[in-house]
Homo-oligomer: A and B are copies of this chain.
Amino acid sequence: MKVRTEFTCPLELTHDMIKGKWKTIILWRLRLGPTTLSGLERDIDGINQKMLLEQLKELMNYGFVEKRSFPGYPLHVEYSLTKDAGVEILKALKIMQHIGIEYLKTNGMEHILTEKGVMPE
């Protein structure tokens, strides 16, 4: 994922950092707390391990996510939001979640919400 090197406002940088199909979904899942790789793979519909690893790597580079490896058998790795950038970007995502919900409502598609069991933000 390429981040632009020229930009007019820092906002563009952040936008590049979370662009792509999966990054926001991963961050959104992590709001519930630390998880393992296989946990993420299980919870996120349609993703595979390779995509996950790629996206997590970039999210770590940008400081949104951190990884903890626990030594021993079986191998155990946990991913979580960072206290600073991770938690802050989550605030933006919550707003986006809200906008998405409102959009569905005003377009007569609330049924999707209940189907998916979307929880209040």
- List residues of chain A with CB under 8 Å of any chain B CB: 4, 8-15, 17-19, 21, 24-25, 28, 44-45, 62-63, 84-85, 88-89, 91-93, 95-104, 106, 113, 116, 118
Contacts and interface: CB of A to CB of B under 8 A. Distances in A.
B25 A96 contact: no
A10 B113 contact: yes
Copies of this chain: 2
A102 to B, nearest CB: 7
A82 to B, nearest CB: 11
A91 B95 contact: yes
A14 to B, nearest CB: 4
Contacts of A96: 11, 14-15, 89, 92
Nearest to A24: B15
A89 B95 contact: yes
A13 B10 CA distance: 23
Contact of A100 (B10, B19, B91, B99): B10
